[in-house]
Amino acid sequence: MTKKRARLLQGNEAVVEGAIAAGLTFFAGYPITPSTEIAELCAAKLPAIGGKFIQMEDEIASMAAVCGASLAGMKAMTATSGPGFSLKQENLGFAVKGELPCVVVNVQRVGPSTGMPTSASQGDVMQARWGSHGDHEMVALSPSSVQEAFTLAVESFNIAEEYRTPVILLMDEMIGHLREKVVLPEKEELVIRNREKPNMTPEQYKPFAMDHGEIAGVPPLAAYGDGFKFHVTGLTHGEDGFPTNNPAIAEKQLKRLNEKISSNKKALTRVEKFYMDDAEVVVFAYGGTARSARKAVKDARAQGIKAGMLRAITIWPFAEDALLEVKRNSPKAVIVPEMNLGQLVLPVKRVIGDSAPVIPINKIAGQLVEPEEILLAIKEAM
Amino acid sequence: MALSLDKYLRMSKLPHIWCPGCGHGIVTQAIVRAIDELGLDTDKTVVVSGIGCSARAPGYLHFDTLHTTHGRAIAFATGIKMAKPELNVIIITGDGDAAAIGGNHLIHAARRNLDLTVICFDNNIYGMTSGQYSPLTPQGSYATTSPYGMLEKPFDLCNLVMGAGGTFAARSTTYHARQLTNVIKEAISHKGFAFVDALSQCPTYFGRRNKLRTPLDMMNWFKDRSVPLRAWSKMSPEEQEGKFPVGVLTKTQAPELTEVYAQLVEKLQQRGED
Amino acid sequence: MGQALPWEITVDSKWCKKCGLCVEFCPRQVLEMKDVPHVKDPARCTGCLMCEMHCPDFAITVKRREEND
C-alpha cells in the first residue's frame, strides 16, 4: 500500500528528509562526527529546492546564523554532536530568550570532551535540559528508529514553530548511523505547522506580548523585512522587546517564557507504552536503548513474565504523568537502561519515590545496553 | 541637510545610555546620515550588533534590529543575509567584539564576500566592563588590565580584513565626521563585504587613564595621528610609526556570495526541469 | 522680531549631555557653553553642520528655515 515511498535510509538521512518535509529552508552547520551526514545531505539538497545552506566557520557561528535566519522567517536547523553542542549553548540560550523557532540536532557521542567520536552515547540528556545558563524550559525529542527520526524531525519543527522555541532533536550515534527501511509519508499525510504571524499594524505589534497569540504566552512572530521594525535582544526585555531592569516586568516575561512550555507539558510530552497494561516490571527507556528494551520485554513476555516498556519519545519536558501512572500500578521495579551513568535515574526516582526500586543499567564506553542484560534485570526484579 | 531624526530614531528610547562625550553617538549619527543620503528603504534595512557599548546603538534605531551575543553579530547577520539577500544588513560592533571574541567571524565574512556592512565602533577599550585592554589598545596605553602599560601589539583591523580577502576596507574617526559618513555610504553601497574601522573616543575609561582628559583631547589625538591615504603611501615606515591612514583603503570587485548562491540555485533548478 | 536668519539651530536640552563638542567644533563661534549649549551669535552660522555632526547625543540640529514648514 505504501511501497511507493519505502526506502532504506540512515537515521541522519531520515532527519534531513523529515526536516525538508516540514519546510526546512535554511541550514547552517559545522562538520562533526557523528552528525556530519546531516550537513552533507543539506548541502546537496537545499540549493536544488531554493533553500539555503552554509557551512559556517565554527559551531557557535552555525547556531548564530540559524537564529538570524529564523528571524528572517526561515525554518532553520543545525546539527552537531557533544563538543559542538557545548559550543552552541550560549546562542541556544539566545534562541530561547529571543523566542526564535529552530531545530538543533545533537547526535550524541561518548564524552566528556572529545571522548569517543564514533561511539554511541546518551550522555547529553542533562546538557540538553540545562546546558545553557539561566532558568529556561527546553523541548527535546529522542527517536528510537530511523522511521521515527523522520517523524520527530517533522515534529521538532512543528513544536518549534508553534511555541516559538528551539527544539533539540536528541539523537544518538546508534540511530544516526543505523540503516533501516522507512516509509516516507506523502506530503498530504503530514501535519505541518507554521509560526503565527502578527495580524496587526507595526505600531501595535509587540513581539513579546503577554497576551497575544493563539497559544497562551506565545506571541506571534514577524519576520525581518516585513516592515514591523522590531527589536530582539538577549537582555531581559519587556513586551516591546526593549531591555528592562524593572523587576516586575522582568519576572512576568521570564515566567511567560517558562510557562509557555511548562503549562503545555501534556500536549508536548509523548510516550509509547509497550505491554504496559498489566506490567509488573517496567523498563523506562528512550532513544537507541529502547530498541534493546523492546526486545527484552518481548523475550520476557515469551517466558511468561509480565514486563512492559514505557518509552519516552519526549525527553524534555519529562514524562512525569506517565511515570505517575506507573507508580499507581505499584510495579515490582522500574529498570532504567541508559548509555550514560544514569542521567535519568534521579528524575525517575523523583516521581516513583519509594514505591518501587529504580534499577539503573548503564553503559558508558560506547557499548550498547544488550537485551539480555535488561532481561536479566527484569528476571531479578521478579 | 538636517536629519529628520524621527524617521530613523526610536525617539522614546533616547537619550541614550552612553557617557557624555562618547564617540559612539557620532558614529551612530554618521550611519543614520549615510542611510538617509543613500535613501535606503527603512523597511528593508536590518541593524545587528553584538555586546558592549556599541551594541546598544541598534536599540535607538528604527529598523529591524538585533542585539545578539558577544562577538557573534556577523554570524547572526550571515543567517539573515543568506535567508533574505534583498535586505541591507548593517552590523555595528565594538573592537573587543569584532577583533577578540568575534575575530573568527570577521575574517570569514571577509573571505566569503557576503554583502554585509560592518561598522566597528573602535574605542580600543572594553567600555561596558569599565576599561580593560582590547586587541586594539595601543602598545603602552593604560587599561585596568594593563596597569603597567599595554604589552601586546594591537591589530590593524583594516589590514586584517584585507588579508582575509575583504573587498572593501575603510577607516575614519569621529573627528572626521563628514568623511566618516562618506566612507560609510561607500561601504553600504559596496556589493560585497565592507568593513569600516570607525575610531571613537571613550573619554571615561580610555581618555582619563591616558592623559586625554576631554572628549576633544581624544578627538584631536585621532586627528594628529591620521593621515590621508595618498600621503600615507608616500611615507616611510619610520614616518608612519604611531600614525594610521584614513579613507577608503581598499575597494575591489569580486563575486558576492548570495549572487553566486542564486546562480547555483538557478542552475540546479534548470537541471531539475530538463 | 528681527529679520529671519537662514539657519535655525535647536538644542534639545533633554538629550544633551553637555560635553561641549558642538561649541568646540563650530568654526565661527556661533555657540557658547552655558548650562547647555547656547546660540550666542546665530547670524554667523553658515549651516556647515559641524556642530550637528559632532554631537554624540542627537541633541543639536541645524535647519534651513525653508525646511521647517
Residue-wise pLDDT for A173-192, tens only, equals 999 999 999 999 998 999 99
**CA-based nearest distance A177→chain B, Å:** 28
Q: Which residue carries 523541548 as its cell?
A: A139
> For residue range A217-233, what is the model confidence (pLDDT) as tens digits?
999 999 999 999 999 99
Residue A175, all three cell numbers = 540511530
- Segment A234-250 shows an average pLDDT of 98
Check residue A335 and give its pLDDT.
Answer: 98
Which of left, alpha, beta for C36 (phi over 0: left; psi -120 to 50: alpha)?
beta
C-alpha–C-alpha distance, residues B93 and B134, integer Å:
13
Task: Work out the minimum CA distance from A258 to partner chain B, whole angstroms.
Answer: 21
Q: How far is CA B211 from CA A6, A287, B208, B215, in A?
A: 75, 63, 6, 11
Q: Confirm whether C60 is domain-assigned.
A: yes
Exposure class string for B238-260: b at 16+ Cβ within 10 A, else e = eeeeeebbbbbbeeeeeebbbee
Over the stretch B35-83, which tens digit does the pLDDT of each residue have? 999 999 999 999 999 999 999 999 999 999 999 999 999 999 999 999 9
For residue C28, being part of any structural domain is answered with: yes
Specify whether the CB–CB gap between B204 and B214 falls below 8 A: no
pLDDT of residue A63: 98
Q: Which residues of C touch B29 (CB under 8 A)?
A: 53, 55-56, 58
pLDDT 10s digits, B211-230? 999 999 999 999 999 999 99
> Which residue on chain C is closest to B4 by alpha carbon?
C61
Average pLDDT in the A2-13 region?
A: 84
User: In sequence order, what are the residues at sequence separation of 6 or more whose Cβ sits closer than 8 angstroms to the Cβ of residue B38?
Assistant: B185, B188, B189
Give φ, ψ of A71 to 5 degrees.
-65, -25
pLDDT band for A62, please (50, 70, 90 cuts): very high
Three-state SS string across chain C, please? CCCCCCEEEEECCCCCCCCCHHHHHCCCCCEEECCCEEECCHHHCCCCCHHHHCCCCCCEEEEEHHHHC
Q: In chain B, which residues have their Cβ closer than 8 Å to the Cβ of A233?
A: 59, 66-67
- Residue A4 pLDDT > 70, yes or no? no
CATH superfamily, with its number, for domain A3-189: Thiamin diphosphate (ThDP)-binding fold, Pyr/PP domains (3.40.50.970)
Please state whether at least 3 CB pairs lie below 8 Å between chains A and B: yes
Residue C2 maps to a domain: no
Which of B2, B3, B23 is facing C56, going by the closest CB pair? B23
Q: Which helix (H) or strand (E) holds A359?
A: strand A358-362
Split at pLDDT 50, 70, 90, the class of C3 is low
What does residue A379 show for φ and ψ, rounded to 5 degrees? -65, -40
A105: β partners: A79, A169
Average pLDDT over residues A1-17: 85
Average of per-residue pLDDT values in chain B: 97
Chain B residues with CB-CB distance to A54 below 8 A: 78, 82
CB-based contact B30 C62, cutoff 8 Å: no
Whether residue B127 lies within 8 A of chain C, CB to CB, comes out as no
Could you tell me the pLDDT band of residue B1, with boundaries at 50, 70 and 90? low
Residue-wise pLDDT tens digits, A102-154: 999 999 999 999 999 999 999 999 999 999 999 999 999 999 999 999 999 99
Q: Kindly indicate the confidence band of residue B248, based on its pLDDT and cuts at 50, 70 and 90.
A: very high
Reported ipTM: 0.97
Say whether the C–B interface has 3 or more Cβ pairs within 8 Å. yes
Q: Which of 40-99 (B) contact A at CB < 8 A?
A: 42-44, 46, 48, 58-59, 62-69, 72, 75-84, 86-87
- Residue C14 is assigned to a structural domain of this protein: yes
Please tell me the distance from the alpha carbon of residue B180 to that of residue B248, in angstroms, as a whole number: 10
| Domain definitions of chain A by residue range | 3-189, 270-381
Structural domain boundaries, residue C36: 7-68
Does the fold of domain A270-381 match that of domain A3-189? yes
| Residue C41 sits at the chain B interface (C-beta within 8 Å) | no
CATH number of the CATH domain containing C33? 3.30.70.20
What is the DSSP-derived secondary structure letter of residue B74?
Answer: H
Nearest to A224 among B58, B87, B264 (CB): B87
Asked if the peptide bond before residue B245 counts as cis, ω within 30 degrees of 0, the response is no
Say if C1 falls within a structural domain. Answer: no
Q: What is the pLDDT of residue A347?
A: 98
Does residue A12 have a pLDDT over 90? Answer: yes
More confident residue, A17 or C68: A17
| pLDDT at residue A1, as a whole number | 46
Count up the domains in chain C and report the number.
1
Joined grid coordinates for residue C59: 541633541
Domain A270-381 annotated CATH 2.120.10.30: no
Domains and CATH numbers, chain B: 17-273 (3.40.50.970)
Query: Mean pLDDT across the stretch B156-162?
Result: 98
Higher pLDDT, A3 or A100: A100
Distance, CA of B251 to CA of A285 (rounded, Å): 60
Smallest Cβ–Cβ distance between A68 and the set B13, B65, B76 belongs to B76
Q: What is the average pLDDT value for chain C, to the nearest integer? A: 91
Report B:4-43 residues touching A (Cβ under 8 A).
13, 42-43
Cell of B112: 566569503
Mutation to test the C interface, candidates B29, B179, B185, most C Cβ within 10 Å: B29
The whole-angstrom distance between B273's CA and the closest CA on chain A is: 11
Give the pLDDT of residue A212: 87
Chain A's closest residue to B87, CA to CA, is A225
- Reported as half-sphere exposure (CB side, CA atoms, 13 A), residue A273 has a value of 12
Across the range A342-364, mean pLDDT stands at 97
Closest CA to A116 of A79, A143, A83, A85: A83
pLDDT interval class at B4 (50, 70, 90) = confident
The per-residue pLDDT for C5 is 85
